[in-house]
Amino acid sequence: MAKTKTYFFCQECGYQSSSWLGRCPECGRFGTFVEEVVKAESGKRSVESGKLQSTPKRIDEVTYDERRRLATGIGELDRVLGGGIVAGSLLLLGGEPGIGKSTLLLQMALSLSVEPVLYVSAEESEEQIKMRADRLENGKREGESGLYVVSETVTGRIFEHIEALKPRLVIVDSIQTVTSEALEGAAGSVGQIRQCTSEFQHYAKSTGVPVMLIGHITKDGTLAGPKVMEHIVDAVLQFEGDRSYGYRMLRAGKNRFGSTTEIGLFDMTSGGLREVAVPTQFFLSSRSEMVTGATVAATLEGSRPLFVEVQSLVSSAVYGTPQRVANGFDLRRLSMLLAVLEKRCGFKLAAKDVFLNIAGGLRVTDPAIDLAVACAVLSSNVDIPLSPHIALAAELGLGGEVRPVTRVEQRIAEADRLGFDTIVISRYNEREVDASRYGIRIRPVAMIDEAMRLLFS
Ligand code: TYD
Ligand code: MG
């Protein structure tokens, strides 16, 4: 008979304890422990000597069949995955509700070249999925589809369907709404998520069939509840963007089969997600007039240059504490840049509200955007517009020094190609650039106050 045992799990970080605790020793949160019953399978078997299944091998004796990758039919998704889905892999697609996770994977399922594909939805009915597919551009196609959909929430029954259909790929929407009978406790609890994820991992590893899980993300950007899931899966993809815009960005937070630097860009249209394969100019507003507080940053996301417009508004604080608001940029980084401006450029920003926005709802992590952020703030503060034909590419240091960035030539070449007339870079990047190859004027600066004098006087 299976023994049952109860454990207490922190619902935030998954910390396991045999007794209830008021405060989690792992993540420090209060009142997060919930009791969950674990049906213990027969106890752990001890390893008898001489019966080992595995033996250590020399690394050059280890062979593998050139792991076959399955192209998803969506170029931007393949790019983030590192060239398609690896056989037997378990992938997690995370994102805020309504961002387009179900749409992306349904669209992918419809464009896959293998069949059958099983789309398990624990959130929507089969009719709802069909209605969504009909709205998608690639949903209306001739002939029979290799995509099967089923609305099911219990993993045991999902595996029965899998057994019967023998799919080549399984999609589960979402991991927070499926439950395993091996465990008591509501769907979405840490124990359930951990259990269900391991069941799908076991299935993927033992059969070689890739499984894609959808997971919801809380407001602060963590996968709701379980950090535990991130350790089990092979790759975590994050789907993000501002829901009031159409742009969506796909990043890999973890990827065992590729790099995590590449991003995928999409545009959400009435016919589903459309790929943005040449994104360079996508996030530049087509402004011709001189506007104060707007600058252009020459950033790189993965291997692709991405030119984005930074917009800032600096105004006198109406209320006691000045506001600092940043969209698409790290707020702490903004505070740091403001402190640098205050110290090195003599601006009294302490009594000012500062709003910062990256056009298009994009989140930029490339530090080369620093100079554009600082100059946007300065431009709004002094009320002097910067020409839209100037691009900026440099990081800022705490001492106000304008620091070099990676692959500056690639940024310069792209700015030149896009018709910018000037690019401001760090003096320390200057020597690696052969300026004679470009028509664009290259202005190297060493300190932020030097950049300020160059641009605003
Ligand atoms: P959805 O994939 O349901 O999001 P998630 O699974 O991440 O919760 O996408 C929801 C939004 O996408 C919804 O608000 C409507 C929008 N959408 C489109 O704009 N065009 C479309 O073709 C589809 C299917 C959805
Ligand atoms: Mg959904």
Instruction: Report the domain count for the chain.
Output: 3
Same-domain pairing of 304 and 244:
no
pLDDT at residue 356, as a whole number: 95
Dig out the tokens for 204 from the structure.
Answer: 């993927």
- Sign of the four-CA dihedral 374, 375, 377, 378: positive
pLDDT at residue 44, as a whole number: 47
Point out the ligand 1 atom lying closest to the alpha carbon of residue 101: 7
46 occurs within a structural domain: no
Same-domain pairing of 311 and 244:
no
Tell me the residue range of the domain where 307 lies: 282-456
pLDDT tens digits, residue range 77-97?
998 998 899 999 999 999 888
Same-domain pairing of 232 and 303:
no
Q: Separation of 127 CA from ligand 2 center, angstroms?
A: 14
Beta bridge partners of 267: 247, 274
Same-domain pairing of 264 and 292:
no
47 occurs within a structural domain: no
Q: Separation of 104 CA from ligand 2 center, angstroms?
A: 9
pLDDT tens digits, residue range 200-222?
999 999 999 999 999 988 666 56
Q: Separation of 149 CA from ligand 2 center, angstroms?
A: 14
Same-domain pairing of 150 and 95:
yes
By the 8 A CB rule, do 122 and 177 touch? yes
Distance CA 211, CA 230 (A): 14
Average pLDDT, the chain: 86
> Could you give the 3-state DSSP secondary structure of residue 440?
coil
Is residue 281 scored above 90 in pLDDT?
Answer: no
CATH code, domain carrying 388? 3.30.230.10
63 occurs within a structural domain: no
Distance CA 166, CA 159 (A): 10
pLDDT tens digits, residue range 351-393?
899 999 988 777 888 999 999 999 999 999 999 999 989 999 9
pLDDT tens digits, residue range 150-159?
999 999 999 9
Q: Separation of 268 CA from ligand 2 center, angstroms?
A: 14
Mean pLDDT score, 170-184: 91
By the 8 A CB rule, do 456 and 448 touch? no
> Which residues does a 6 A CB cutoff place in the pocket of ligand 1?
95, 97-103, 132, 135-136, 268, 270-272
Distance CA 62, CA 41 (A): 33
Burial class of 439 by CB neighbour count within 10 A (0 to 12, 13 to 18, 19+): exposed
Closest residue CA from atom 9 of ligand 1: 100
52 occurs within a structural domain: no
